[in-house]
Structure 1
Amino acid sequence: MTTTEPTPAVQKSSEVLLSVDGLVKHFPIRKGVLQRQVGAVQAVDGLTFDVTQGETLSLVGESGCGKTTTGRLLTRLLEPTAGTIVFEGRDISHLREGQMRPLRRDVQMIFQDPYGSLNPRHTVGKIVGAPFRLQNVKTEHGVKRAVQELLELVGLSPEHYNRYPHEFSGGQRQRIGIARTLALRPKLIVADEPVSALDVSIQAQVVNLLEDLQEEFDLTYVMIAHDLSVVRHVSDRVAVMYLGKIVELADRVDLYENPMHPYTTALLSAVPVPDTKRKGKQERIRLQGDVPSPINPPPACRFHTRCWKAQDICKTVEPPLIQLAPGHQTACHFPENATPEQEATATAAAKA
C-alpha cells in the first residue's frame, strides 16, 4: 500500500442510497429439550446511518463488534430483529425471499474468504456466470462472452474461463469473486474485509481495483475492515463500532486527525507509522481487559469498563450518538479533542 498521504475525502453525492435506522440483530440462545430461549447474543444493537450514492462508508472495530453481522443484514442474508433498512426509498427490512430476488441485482456482497466463497466443483465460467442464470438476464453476445469481459475487467484472462478455483492464487480468487459481484452491475456492494486474507503485496492491487471499478461504474461501497491503514486509503466516511453500537461516525480525514471517542483514539494509536522519525513520538494506548460478552454487555456506555476517562455517569446513562462538529457524530460523555462548546453539547445531551 502506498505510504503517501491520501487526498481529503469529497462528498460525492447528496442522494441517500441506503438508510438504516435503529437496526438490531439478536441471536437467541436456547437450552433444554424444549429449546427455550434463555438469553441472546446482542450482535447489533441500534445502528443508525445513511450511505450516499457513490461514497465508501467503512465499518471498523475489534473482532466481534458486529461488523460482519451488519453487512449481512444490509444484504438481507440475515433477518433483522428490529429496525429498518431502506434502499432507494423502499423498506427492505422484512421482505420475503421472493420479494428480495429482484433486488439482488442492485445489492451484492464481496466475501472475506476467497477460498470458501467459490465452489471448487465449478469452473470460473460457471461461477461468474451464475448471476445471469439465476436472474434470467439475457446478454447481447451470450453469457460466455459476458463472463470473459468481466474477467478482463478485473485483471484476469478470458482463457481462465474453463479453469477451476484451485488453480488460482488468493488474489486471483478474490478477483473472480469481484467479477461475480459485478456481473449484474449492482448499485451497492458490501465488501466484508475483501483484502484481509491476502498477502500485503496483493492487497494494494485489489484495493486499487475496487477504487477503479467504483469510479467507472459509480458504485457505492460499505467496506468492512479492521486494517485502519487500508480504511484511510479507500474511505469517504468511517463508522467505528464497539460491541454492536456505533460510537463514532465522521469524515475520514476528520476522524483520523481529530478523533473524539476514546475507543477511536486507542484504535488509531495502534496503527503502525511507516515514518521512522515520527514512530518514537507516537503514544500507544493499551486498553485494559477484554471486550465484554455481547450476551451480557455493560450497562449505559458499553466502553466504560475499559475507558480511562470513565466516570459514574458513564455507568448509568448511555451517551447518545450526537453531532459535535459538522458531519462528526460521537457517543461519549467526555469526548477527546473537544472544544468547551462541544463538551457542553455532550453534557446537555446526557441530561436530556
Structure 2
Amino acid sequence: MSTVGAGNELLVVEDLKKHFPVTRGIVFQKEIATVKAVDGVSFTLREGETLGIVGESGCGKSTLVRCILKLLEPTGGRVVFQGQDITGLSRREMRPLRRNMMMVFQDPYASLNARKRVGFIIGEALELHGIGTPAERKRRVQELLEVVGLNPEHYNRFPHEFSGGQRQRIGVARALAVNPKLIVCDEPVSALDVSVQAQILNLLKDLQREFGLTYVFIAHDLNVVRHISDRVMVMYLGKAVELADRDELYIHPKHPYTGALLSAVPIASPDIGRARKQVVLEGDVPNPINPPVACNFHPRCPRFHQGHCDVETPPLAPIAHDHLVACHYPLERWPMDIADRSVAAAQPVESAG
C-alpha cells in the first residue's frame, strides 16, 4: 500500500464532464439528445500511488482518462496536473506536458504500428520531444527493452514477431521512454492469458517502485484491480459512486452496486465460494441517452426507497475516513454471509505467474 500523504497531489479532477451530442440528419444535422459519458467525476491522485477504476462496460472509464489526458476535450469541469490547470490548454500548449502523461493501451497489437520496427516505436517520443542524439536515443531504447524484460537485440524486429505479452512490454517501454510522472493503463492485461497478466502486473509494480511512477489503472477484473491498486474508484453510468482505500472497499463496500460487483468475484476456495450469497442485479444498464432521474442506480438497486432515491441525487460524500460513497442508504456491511473470510481467501494475482 502507498504511504503517501495529503498535500502531494499529482492530479486533481474536479466535476469533470464529457457529453456527446446525438444528431439527426445528413446535410442539416440537428441535435436531438446528449450522451453523458462522464457526468461530474471528481478525485485526486497522489504521487506514487495507483488508482484503480472499475465498472461495467460503457460506464465512462476510458472516456474519463482520455479527457484527463486531453485526448478528448472535456465538456465541463477542471483537470489540474502538477499544480497547473490544463483544461483549457490548446494542443500546442499541451505539447510540453505530454512527456509527463503517457498511456498503455488495451490491445497490445493494434496500439503498435505494424509497419515500424520496435526501435522506432519506442524511440518516437524521444525524437518528437528532441531528446538526445540518434545514437543516444538508440541506446535509451535498448536500455528500455532490457528494463521491461526483452532482449536489446530485438531493436530491429517488427511487432508481429512478438507474442501478446511481449508486445505489451513494448507498449510499457514506449510509455517509459520520456520518464513520465503519470501513466494511464487502459485495461492493459485484458487481452492476455492469465499467466502473462501476472507477469505484466508484476512488471508494472516493479517499475513503479524503481521510477516512482503514478498509475491510473482501468480494468474489469476486480482481482487484478485489488492486486495493483492503492485506492479504487467505482463508476456507474458516467458517475463515481464509491471511492476508497483498496482494502476498505473490498472488505467494507458501502454502495449496493459495489457490493454486487464484489459478490461476483471468483474465489479460489470452493467451500467459501459455494457458501457465499451472490447479489444479482435486476434489469439492464439504463440507456445513457435517457438515464434515470436522481440516483442513476435506483431502478436496479435492492435498497431503493421510492420518493427519495428517485427524487434526490446523492452526492459523493465521506462516510468514513477517506471512504466516499454516493448513496442515500449505504450498506451497513457487505451483503454476504461470510464477507471478511471471502476477501481473506481471495488469492493474489501473482500466484498465477
Category of TM-score, reference length = shorter chain:
over 0.9
Does residue 215 (structure 1) correspond to residue 212 (structure 2)? The answer is no
**Which residue of structure 2 aligns with residue 148 of structure 1?**
142
**1:193-212 pair list within 5 angstroms:** 193-212=187-206
* Structure 1: runs of 5 or more not aligned: 1-8, 339-352
Q: Is the 8 A contact 1:13 1:53 kept in 2?
A: no
**Which residue of structure 2 aligns with residue 327 of structure 1?**
322
* Structure 2: runs of 5 or more not aligned: 334-353
Q: Is the 8 A contact 1:124 1:161 kept in 2?
A: yes
Aligned equivalents of 2:284 and 2:238: distance in 1? 15
**Which residue of structure 2 aligns with residue 76 of structure 1?**
70
Deviation at 1:139, TM superposition (A): 5.5
Q: Is the 8 A contact 1:139 1:146 kept in 2?
A: no
Deviation at 1:74, TM superposition (A): 1.1
Deviation at 1:141, TM superposition (A): 5.2
Deviation at 1:281, TM superposition (A): 1.6
Correspondent of 2:23 among 5, 30, 47: 30
Correspondent of 1:118 among 112, 123, 130: 112
Q: Is the 8 A contact 1:13 1:55 kept in 2?
A: no
Query: What TM-score does the superposition give when structure 1 sets the normalisation length?
Result: 0.92
Instruction: Give the alignment's Cα RMSD to 1 decimal.
Output: 1.3
Describe the SS at the equivalent of 1:47. Answer: strand
Q: Is the 8 A contact 1:266 1:285 kept in 2?
A: yes
Q: Is the 8 A contact 2:2 2:48 kept in 1?
A: no
Deviation string, structure 1 residues 194-239 (Cα, Å, up to 9, x no partner): 1001011100000000000000000000101110000110110000
**Which residue of structure 2 aligns with residue 10 of structure 1?**
2
Greater CA deviation, 223-232 or 273-282?
Answer: 273-282
Aligned equivalents of 1:36 and 1:224: distance in 2? 34
Count of aligned positions: 331
Deviation string, structure 1 residues 293-352 (Cα, Å, up to 9, x no partner): 1111100000001001101100000011100100000000110026xxxxxxxxxxxxxx
Deviation string, structure 1 residues 97-146 (Cα, Å, up to 9, x no partner): 11110101101111111111000000000100100111111169511111
Aligned equivalents of 1:110 and 1:152: distance in 2? 18
Describe the SS at the equivalent of 2:329. Answer: coil
Correspondent of 1:175 among 147, 157, 169: 169
Correspondent of 1:21 among 2, 10, 14: 14
Amino acid at match of 2:33: G
Aligned equivalents of 2:52 and 2:87: distance in 1? 21
Runs of 4+, deviation exceeding 4 Å? none
Amino acid at match of 2:254: M
Q: Percent sequence identity over matched residues?
A: 59
Deviation at 1:279, TM superposition (A): 1.2
Deviation at 1:13, TM superposition (A): 3.9
Describe the SS at the equivalent of 2:113. Answer: coil
Deviation at 1:275, TM superposition (A): 1.1
Q: Is the 8 A contact 1:11 1:236 kept in 2?
A: no
**Which residue of structure 1 aligns with residue 277 of structure 2?**
283
Amino acid at match of 1:219: L
**Which residue of structure 2 aligns with residue 341 of structure 1?**
none
Does residue 107 (structure 1) correspond to residue 101 (structure 2)? The answer is yes
